[in-house]
Amino acid sequence: MSDTSGRGPQAPYGAPPGPYGAPPGWGWNGYGWTPPPPPPKPGVIPLAPLGANHVIGGAFATMRRYAKPLFGTAAAAYGLLALVVVVGGALAYVATREHIRVLHETGADFSWDDGRPILVAFGLAWLVFMLATLVVNSFIQAACAATLHEAVLGRPATFGAVWRRAWSRTPSVLAVTLLLSVVLMLPVAAFALLFLSLLFLMMTQSLIPIGLVFPLFLVTLPLAAWLYVLFALAPAAAALETAGPFTALRRSVRLVRGAWWRTFGISLLAGLIVMGVSLALRLPLQFTAPAPPPVDPDDSASAYFLDQLRSQFGLFALFSLVATFITQLAASVFLPLVTALLYIDRRIRKEGLAHTLAQAESPQGS
């Protein structure tokens, strides 16, 4: 998977369009119509244009057959992320321990001299956590693409090989992920402005802010969705073609052109599957959640808040944490696999990638 646009050496993800018409020998014979043979399927998908069932089924098949490199890599990455969170929180606490102690003294009033260092320290820890989360998610996307590279041809993939290949492509995938995050922030920012304008409306009885912000929200939401789907295949292109971020974005636009609704529909279906799995794990936990403690009018707000927190700890908190981790792990692997399979499907349809993959799978092409 080398070049990105059809120039230079390309193996196996960069060949010119292949012969997916009807080869000689197909058609009518003396006994009737001879159906074409099924396309080869050396790995998790047939080497032919993919339907939605092939994309979703191929993602599940890859997760089943390559569970160790996929989930092992993702779990290790999230383990490193958890370590970053713990270390960052511990450093922030150590740096502001005296200020926290002063604010927690009995009868203490809030003071910015003590509150400002706490907000700055934990704000920096939160910023580091967000950046680390983007790096980890980009790494997992690259790892999914690296695993799928072997899964399509039915080749083995080891944890070490996937880790090394994914790490080498993480910077490019991270740059693409940052841009996609900015695209997603457009409707989020517009929604935040809409919420603030509603507060302004309730306080001042003025319709001017909401009259300006609501149309902005209606415009940014479909615009962000259109841009996000248009660039959706860029992470796969960055990982599978060793493309730079801007080249990967251009590749995604060319591949999605003419198939925006199909890409959107299959991606939405994958998201609904993840949502269904998440609900299946979380809903039973809601019935076992401990009842909140009764409200005592004589208790202070801080005491009531601490009682609420204590009621949520124990086995319920442990099961909730495990369910959240399983859901996040499955989603972080399943969704990038679906995106990478959509990328392969578009290249099969537009560039004849199936012929190149079939040659790479054959003894002559290996």
Residue-level pLDDT at 98: 82
Tokens found for residue 361: 């799978």
More confident residue, 259 or 18: 259
Q: Which stretch, 67-76, 203-212, 218-227, has highest mean pLDDT?
A: 67-76
**Per the confidence metrics, is the pTM higher than 0.95?**
no
Burial class (CB in 10 A: 0-12, 13-18, 19+), 184: middle
Chain segment 132-185, per-residue pLDDT in tens: 999 999 999 999 999 999 999 999 999 999 999 999 999 999 999 998 888 888
- Comparison of pLDDT for 210 and 56, the residue scoring more: 56
- How far apart CA 169 and CA 319 sit, in angstroms, is 35
Burial 36-69 (b: 16+ CB within 10 A, else e): eeeeeebbbbbbbebeeebbbebbebbbebbeeb
The reported pLDDT for the residue numbered 306 is: 53
CA-to-CA separations, 185 to 156, 221, 286, in angstroms, rounded: 39, 10, 30
Q: How many residues does the chain have?
A: 366
What pLDDT, on the 0 to 100 scale, is given for residue 40?
86
pLDDT given for residue 111 in this prediction: 67
CA dist list (Å): 162 to 55, 147, 221, 233, 329: 21, 6, 36, 20, 17
Q: What is the pLDDT of residues 223-251, one digit of tens each?
A: 888 989 999 999 999 999 888 899 999 99
HSE-up (13 A, CA, CB side) for residue 137:
19
pLDDT tens readout for residues 316-353: 667 777 778 888 888 899 999 999 999 999 999 999 88
Task: Read off the tokens for 98.
Answer: 């005296």
Tell me if 182 sits within 8 A of 249, measured CB to CB: no
How many other C-beta atoms lie within 10 A of the C-beta of residue 296?
10
| Angle between the N-to-C axes of helices 159-204 and 245-256, in degrees from 0 to 180, rounded to the nearest 10 | 80
Please report the pLDDT score of residue 322 as a whole number. Answer: 77
